[in-house]
Amino acid sequence: MRLNGKSAIVTGAASGIGRATAQLFAQEGARVLAVDLPGKALAEAHRDHNTISVLEISVADDGAPEAIIGTAIKGHSRLDILMNNAGVASNALAEQMSRADWDRSLAVNLTAPFLICQQAIPHLRESGAGRIINVASVMAEGTGFGLAAYCASKAGVAGLTRTLALELGKFNITANYLLPGAIKTGMTTPLWNARPDVADIWAKKSALRRLGEPTDLAKAALFLASDDGAFVTGHGLTVDGGLMLRV
């Protein structure tokens, strides 16, 4: 098992990429703290995994970073892997976007990962082989109508992660980010189900002619979290089935 004896945190873990990653990490030997809202869905998602504990909290709440890291250390006595996956998306043209939508996107997608990393760094340093994995998006390098807040926040995740890699390398901590493409997640599945034609369009844009599954991202995260990825840092790993080759 590639993560035997490791302790991990995965945010946004009630569904989609976070759920798949938390469960794969557990299968590979890690003890995992799964963080998300709502608590009922979170507990239900992981009820069959006795090495996954859950914490119901919004990553953007005041005091959430301290609570998340504190809970992991209290339960596991150490922290080796941090995966900031929780995210939100809003869709409005820049001219029409509300300040509340802008602030919410930045708070969840960028500020929360920064603050959680800040709290985690001392414990990752003690690990001796700490791993930070932040989830950005192919929209960190692309764009689309109505995605000003989302694109800005995800581009910020990329810049933040590269800086963390530079600053923390001397402690043998790696920091990398994932760039998912069109993935079947809790955020996107309702759209695909409501508009199969839209799902088909996005699938055909991919070089592999399909939408991504959460497990596609979980396997990429496992590589970065394990010893296999020990010499990879400051890197954005695109997992999009070749979507951006056609955009």
The pLDDT value recorded for residue 38 is 84
- Asked if residue 117 has pLDDT above 60, the reply is yes
Fold of 7-183+213-245: Rossmann fold (3.40.50)
Q: Is the peptide bond before 38 cis (omega within 30 degrees of 0)?
A: yes
Largest CA distance in the chain: 50
Share of the chain above pLDDT 70, in %: 99
96, two tokens: 């029409």
Catalytic member of 150, 177, 192, 202: 150
- pLDDT surpassing 60 at residue 247: no
pLDDT for the residue 191 = 73
Q: What is the pLDDT of residue 121?
A: 98
* Residue 111 contacts residue 88 (beta carbons within 8 Å): no
pLDDT at 39: 79
- Give the list of residues 6+ apart from residue 109 with CB closer than 8 angstroms, or none: 87, 88, 150, 153, 154, 156, 157
> Is 150 labeled as catalytic in the residue annotation?
yes
Q: pTM for the full model?
A: 0.96
pLDDT tens-digit map of 97-106: 999 999 999 9
Domain edges within the chain = 7-183+213-245
The 10s digit of each residue's pLDDT in 7-62 is 999 999 999 999 999 999 999 999 999 999 987 889 999 998 999 999 999 999 99
Nearest of 179, 140, 151, 141 to residue 94 by alpha carbon: 151
